Amino acid sequence: MAFLVVRAVPADDPRNPWFSWEYIRQNSDSIQAALTQHVQLTVLAIAIAAAIAIPLAIVASRVRWLAGPILSLSGVLYTIPSLALFALLGPLLGLTVRTALVGLVMYALLAIVRNALTGLRQVPAEVRDAARGMGYGPAQLLWRIDLPLALPGILTGLRIATVSTVALVTVTSIVSYGGFGMEILTGFNHDFYRPQIMFATLACVTLALTFDLLLVLLGKVLMPWSRRRRAT
């Protein structure tokens, strides 16, 4: 992917303001490319992390002695410094999108696993007992009782992981796949070109807020009973 190459402008030059609509107008193509890459990396990372973390949370809720090791492992992965992690992954996997995704998925696991497990543990025992009394088997119990009632916790984990991932995507610029992070890095490398840095920073914040709002709306669609409960 080609990103903008900016001519060096001194930091105190009048042509180097903190924000410029002219910069946005002239560089709409590179901005669109950065936005597309940032969104794709975030969505893919969260989808893969959820596909791994939610089953792990289900296993941890069913087999109690596995809860500690699963949470500990995801916690250890989360504590690895991001720059160090991507610097290690780069030589192993190359400067590819796969390298960026592996790191992003590792960091997203903890929030999803922990909140999904909390949600599953908060399912009332009497509700599960009543479902068993009605003839629900393990699969029916999971899909009709446990997961729907644990959905608030799962969505909380997804919201936390998504917002964190939007921020972490900027760090993946170290492996040349950083979305708006590439724009920020380019701005710093060209004598602190402020319009590029400021716009990319504001774009990251806006993107994180947008994803969070979309997940809130998704929760309202998937959990209409929560709206009725607040209304009463």
Indicate the range of 54-58, 95-99, 113-117 predicted with least confidence.
95-99
103 pLDDT above the threshold of 80: yes
Task: Answer whether residue 23 is part of any domain.
Answer: no
Query: Residue with structure tokens 């979305």?
Result: 179
Burial class, 223, CB count within 10 angstroms (exposed 0-12 / middle 13-18 / buried 19+): middle
Query: Residue with structure tokens 């997203």?
Result: 108
Neighbours of 67 (CB within 10 A): 18
Q: What is the pTM of this model?
A: 0.85
Q: The domain spanning residue 134 has which CATH number? A: 1.10.3720.10
Q: What is the pLDDT of residue 105?
A: 94
Task: Answer whether residue 6 is part of any domain.
Answer: no
Task: Answer whether residue 42 is part of any domain.
Answer: yes
In degrees rounded to 5, what are phi and psi of residue 15?
A: -80, 5
**Listed residue (82, 81, 80, 164) closest to 115, CA to CA:** 164
Query: Which residues make Cβ contacts (< 8 Å) with residue 45, sequence separation at least 6?
Result: 101, 104, 105, 108, 165, 169
Task: Answer whether residue 119 is part of any domain.
Answer: yes
Amino acid code (one letter) for 182: M
Contact 33, 180 (CB under 8 A): no
The H or E element that residue 144 is part of is none
Contact 131, 145 (CB under 8 A): yes
Alpha carbons within 13 angstroms on the beta-carbon side of residue 195 total: 21
pLDDT one-digit tens code per residue, 21-30: 777 788 778 8
Count of domains in the chain? 1
Task: Answer whether residue 11 is part of any domain.
Answer: no
Q: What is the pLDDT of residue 14?
A: 55
Range of the domain at 89: 29-231
Task: Answer whether residue 219 is part of any domain.
Answer: yes
Task: Answer whether residue 151 is part of any domain.
Answer: yes
Task: Answer whether residue 20 is part of any domain.
Answer: no
